[in-house]
């Protein structure tokens, strides 16, 4: 039997996947609705219950849009700031902004 934490993690994965699907549908069709706010709220509630707090620059643009309704340009600003601060940005996040370069040591 799955623990409460495992059940919440599974639900979070499902909610985030659905929000990501809605985000891409919204991007493809100007008449589509953005991500359902109920999904955003539930994902935030689950993260809070699990104590999961990731910085914006550690998440993809789809994730921050789905979770927080954050526009892509604002997310890019967080990624740029994190790079300037010397943070290590996950490859899958950095790949979304090929014009940004991670500083070489």
pLDDT for the residue 66:
72
Residue pLDDT, tens place only, 4-23? 888 888 888 888 788 777 77
pLDDT band at 30 (very low <50, low <70, confident <90, very high): low
Range of the domain at 88: 4-94
pLDDT band at 32 (very low <50, low <70, confident <90, very high): low
Domain count, the chain: 1
Q: Is residue 41 part of a domain?
A: yes
Q: Is residue 13 part of a domain?
A: yes
Interior/surface letters 5-38, b for 16+ CB within 10 angstroms, e for the rest: eeebeeebeebbebbbebbeebeeeeeeeebeee
Residue pLDDT, tens place only, 53-93? 778 888 888 888 777 778 889 999 999 999 998 888 999 99
Helices (DSSP H) in 1-105: which residue ranges?
Answer: 4-28, 37-50, 61-68, 72-84, 91-94
């Amino acid at each position: 039997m799955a623990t409460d934490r495992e059940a919440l993690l599974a639900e979070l994965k499902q909610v985030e996947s659905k929000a990501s699907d809605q985000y891409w549908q919204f991007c493809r069709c100007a008449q589509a609705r953005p991500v359902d706010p109920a999904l955003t709220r539930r994902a935030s509630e689950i993260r809070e219950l699990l104590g999961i707090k990731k910085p914006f620059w550690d998440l993809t643009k789809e994730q921050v849009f789905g979770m927080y309704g954050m526009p892509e340009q604002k997310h890019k600003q967080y990624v740029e700031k994190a790079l300037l601060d010397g943070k290590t940005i996950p490859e899958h996040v950095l790949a979304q902004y090929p014009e940004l370069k991670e500083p070489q040591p």
